[in-house]
Structures are given as C-alpha cells and as structure tokens.
Amino acid sequence: MKYLAFLLILLPSFSFHSAKWGANGHRIVAKICYDNLSDKARAAVDEALGDNYLEQVSNWPDYIKSERGWSFASPWHYMTVQPDQTVAQYIDETAKDPQIDHVMEGIDLMIQILRDDQEALNQLQALMDKNKVEHLAGNPKATALAFLIHLIGDIHQPLHVGKNRDQGGNKIEVLYFSERQNLHSIWDSNIIEHEKLSYTEFSAFVEKHTRAKKADWEHDPVIEWARESIELREKIYNTLYDYTDRESGLPSFSWNYQHDFIPLVEERLGAAGYRSAALLNDIFK
C-alpha cells in the first residue's frame, strides 16, 4: 500500500506522453487480459501481485523510468526494425549481444521468470543488484508480470517497432485537432484519450468489437506481433500526408483520422489483451 501511495504522488510529475500506449492504453490491455484468464491463472496472478491489481501495475515499468537505476530496462520497451530488414534478421543480429536489447527479448525474459527458470531470474536479479533497485511488491513474479503485460502492450503499438531515423515517429511533427504534437504521442495516447472513456469503458468496447478475432490472435507467436506492427507502421506512414494543414504544411489530424484509425487501435489493444491472457493461461496451467 505504501508503494501504491508513492505511485500516486509520483504520477503528476510524468509528462502525459511519457507512457507507452498512455496509462489508459496499458490499463485496457491489462483489463482485457485479466477478464480472459483461467481461474488457475487468475489465482496465480493475484497471489503474485498481493494488494495490487494487474491494471495498476501495468504502468509500473513506465513509472520507474524516473529512477536512474532502472535505465537498463529502457531498451525493453521498443525495437528498431528498418524497412530493409525482416524481424528475423533483426533478431539474429541482436542475439549476438548477451544483453537484453529490445522488447521481444524483454518479453522472453519475463516469460522464463514466470516459468520458474532460475537462469532467467538470476539474469534479472544481477541487473537489479548491480543498479540497486527493488522488485515490485518485493516479489520477482510481480516484477515479471508488470513488465510482461506492459511490454506486450508496447510491441502492439505500431510505432514501438519503429525506424531509428525518426525515433518511431517522435521526430515527426503533426497537428492533432489543431494542436502541435508528434506522431508517436498521437499513437501512444491521443487517439485513446480523445474518446473520453475510462479504461474500463474502453476495454468493454474493445472486447465487444474484437471478440470474434480472439481465437485467431491468441496463438500467434511473438514474432508475428512484431511483424503486424511493422505492417501497420507502414500504413501510418503512408497515410501521413492524406490531410495537410495549408498554413504550416504539417500533417493535420482531426475527426477524419480518429474515424479511420480508432478501429485499428482497438484491434491492437484487443490482440495484446487476448494474447497476454493466453500466454499466462499456458504458463499457469
């Protein structure tokens, strides 16, 4: 409870766009995941998290970025796959480095920890000891759950499988309902927040609209999640100048953009939630 109180104090100090998918985006993924857990998996999650909820801890990996000691985990939130690369080629290249270099390796580490792999736990613990940081709720499995649900959300945000020349859209300035933003922030937060829904309302809408695709999504391998984000990333770039502000020359997004892309946002959040649940159901079967 003291830790959650600390988070509530800390939260206002964060830039609204510092969180990936935005705080509500990650809560939506976690809520859909929790709704679709088996009884056994739900009991295991509840035991690991103690007094915390999965929706609450889903943003913990972003909140701890304010702690210098956790800087080693920053690369776990994204991956940079260039247009002339395949995901498989990128994985092969980064596998040569023993460090955890990107979101897929971060996801794999957390899966192995939740499967009680001692080598994976030792790897994380060594990083934490070296950097003098503590586990969430004093429990390695709580830490792994928080990171896993968060990183699965991140890999489903198309611009988190980005291009390094514009830092996943962070360097691309756009107008969103006449306000200057960057493309990445639109996809992290603005599209979701513009709907003016609570995360529980939004997750209910997403589940209603995407339930028919659940069975198709939940057994796809992690590499397919990244491939999907790259395909959608290119769609985002290819439609960037469909609407342009005459005065500034910047891409101009408003109701047209919201209309065109809110179904895609819902699909990515739904896929992330269902896939997270399927994964945890398998781990805790």
Please identify, in words, the CATH class of the domain defined by 1-285.
mainly alpha
DSSP state of 186: I
Domain boundaries, the chain: 1-285
Does residue 253 contact residue 191 with C-beta atoms inside 8 Å?
A: no
pLDDT at 163: 86
Helices marked H in 156-190: 183-185
With a cut of 90, say whether residue 112 has pLDDT above it. Answer: yes
Predicted pLDDT at 13: 33
Residues 30-76 have pLDDT tens digits of 999 999 999 999 999 999 999 999 999 999 999 999 999 999 999 99
**Judging by beta carbons within 10 Å of its beta carbon (0-12, 13-18, 19+), is residue 244 exposed, middle or buried?**
middle
The answer to whether the beta carbons of residues 107 and 22 sit under 8 Å apart is no
**Position 190 pLDDT exceeds 60:** yes
Whether the model clears a pTM of 0.75, i.e. scores above it, the answer is yes
Tokens at 38, concatenated: 């088996």
- pLDDT-based confidence at 165, cuts 50/70/90? confident
Residues 6+ positions from 246 with CB-CB distance below 8 Å = none
- Burial level of 249, CB count in 10 A (0-12/13-18/19+)? exposed
Return the pLDDT at 186.
97
Average pLDDT over residues 203-214: 97
Q: Which residue in the block uniquely carries the two structure tokens 């994204």?
A: 78
Percent of the chain with pLDDT over 90: 90
Give pLDDT, residue 164: 80
